[in-house]
Structure formats: structure tokens, C-alpha cells
Chains A and B, each alone.
Chain A
Amino acid sequence: MKFGIVVFPGSWSQQDFYHVIANVLKEDACYLWHKEADLKGSDCVILPGGFAHGDYLRTGAIARFSPIMGEVARFAEKGGLVLGSCNGFQVLTEAGLLPGALLRNDCLHYRCKWVHLRVESQRTPFTNGMQRGQVVQMPISHGEGRYYIDQEAFRRLEDHDQVVFRYCDERGKLTKEANPNGSLEHVAGVCNERRNVLGLMPHPERAAEAILGCEDGRLMFASILETFARA
């Protein structure tokens, strides 16, 4: 399976994704420079974390106009798998490929720490190897991760089972203390209605090797590989 990792000026997690895909999973990985409108035959497109275009104006606001984003939108439209982590999530919301927006953390601090996540839906190509209600650990590293969407749109998200991850404590309870950024209803990750585009603030690529403390992030990669193998 071939993973294409989009690189914007200011991206910083692309090498971590590349390392996990190429060296840990032993799959194909390639970088996709944002100015090239070519996905190079990727089976799954990844938008990594970082500060694309310096996060000027708003996080992800400038990146969505990069030439590659037109291709990413067409790819998603055809049902292609698109995963955005951290800044990648912000870019996907700005591009309108995912609903909602990410605001400044309510604590105003940049939070860089391990968090617990509760899997809210395993009905996505990215989480089908997990169980609903399962608690997994991944690191976060962001200053603007407070998910927001208006009430009516949020109800639609819930009706369509589009909330995929929520911040929780180690036992899976949704508490204020366990929510690192004040996101609406503890949301940490959502998918589109068609379920082929997923965005999350945490970093699965930083939780994919035991030597780094946790391998839970690999469950996401395993799900993607499984989806691809069955297709």
C-alpha cells in the first residue's frame, strides 16, 4: 500500500509518518510537495502536523489553497482515504473536507502531552481494528485544538456517527480535566459523512513504537492496511 504524505512549508510531522510507514510497517511512503498537483498514485493521503504556511491568518487557512489540495479534494470525492493529524486536521476543516473548526485551546497554553482517547466509532477505514469504547493513548502537541461546530451541525455529526475520538481519562470517562483544549463535547477527531476522510488532533504516528512508550497509534495504521487489503 502506498501512503502519500503532503508537505507544506512549515509541516513538521512528515518524517515521523514516513518513518512509521516505511520502517515500522514496511509499506511504501512518498512525500507530496504542496505545489505539485500530483498524488503519485497514493492509496492513502496523509496531511501531517506542523504549522503550514506559518499558520498565518488562521491555522490551515492558506494551506487549503495549495495546488495539491485540489487533488486531495478530488481524491476524497472519489472515496480515497485521507487522514489529517493535528495541523492536517485543521487544514481539512478549512478546506471544507471535514465539518467544524479548531480554535485556540481554552487554557491558552500549547499542550504537548500524552492523552487518553475513547474510540467512539469503529465504523471508519481508520478505526475498524479498534472497538467502540476502547481507550487508547496518543500524544497531542498543539495550541489550537479546541474543536467547535454549531449545535445543529453537531447534532448532525452525532446522528451520522461522525465523532470518532473523544478525550477521556484512563478509564474512558469524559471529564473536564481529561479534555486538554476545551473542545466541544470532548471531540478529538471526526470523519466526513462518507467516512473516508478523518481528522484528529492527536498524533498516531508518535505512538507507533514500543520504544516511544506506546503502540496504540499502530491500530490506526493496521485498520487502514486492513481496509486496503479487503478492497
Chain B
Amino acid sequence: MMLTARIYVTLKPGVLDAQGDTVKSALETLGFTGVEGVRIGKFMVVTLNSATREQATAQIEEMCRRLLANPVIEEYSFELEGETEHDPSKRPRRLIGW
């Protein structure tokens, strides 16, 4: 079955995110109040053909561990979406401009 993994890689809490901090001050300059913090990460979409969801989960987990994230500085999370799911609320949200 064709599955789509939506993977999020972010800097570990405690690791200074210079980009995030700069964007935070830019938001403050624009007048947004109450911005407590901004963290910038990576978003990846991996489409894969897999026999089962379990197999796909294990594969994505290994991809994250071995390549997509660096455990010294980053952490990751992911969600799997695919043909077996019919819950419309789980469908990727349409973003304006896409």
C-alpha cells in the first residue's frame, strides 16, 4: 500500500535555535505580543510503498535514526497517512498558496 509519512525534525529543547530567535524578534518588531518562543525545524514528506503499516513505521523510524535527524542535536516525530485511513479529519490540511 502507498503510505505518506509526514516527518518533523526539530532541534532538541535546550539547543540554541539562532534562526528561531531571530524570527521571534522579527515578530515582536511587527507588534505581535506574547510570543514566548519560535523554533524552526524541517518538514519532510516521504511517500513509500510498504506491505503493512507496521513495516512502514519501522522503516521511517530507521530512516530518521540513521539519516533524517542527527540525535546529537535533533529530535524527530512523524505521522503516517495512507489508503487504509478514511478519517477525513486526518487528511493534510490545505494550505493557502499550495
Q: Contact residues of A with B, CB < 8 Å?
A: 57-58, 61, 65, 93-94, 100-101, 103-108, 146, 148-150, 182
Contacts and interface: CB of A to CB of B under 8 A. Distances in A.
Contact of A61 (B15, B22, B70): B70
Nearest to A108: B18
Given A104-B19, A148-B73, A150-B72, 20 more contacts: A57-B67, A57-B68, A61-B67, A94-B70, A101-B70, A101-B72, A101-B73, A103-B11, A103-B16, A103-B18, A103-B73, A104-B18, A106-B18, A107-B18, A108-B18, A108-B19, A146-B18, A148-B15, A148-B72, A149-B72
Contacts, number: 35
Given A103-B15, A148-B15, A182-B16, A108 B70 contact: no
Interface size classification for chain B: 10 to 19
Interface of B: 11, 15-16, 18-19, 22, 67-68, 70, 72-73
Given A57-B67, A61-B67, A100 B72 contact: yes
A9 to B, nearest CB: 18
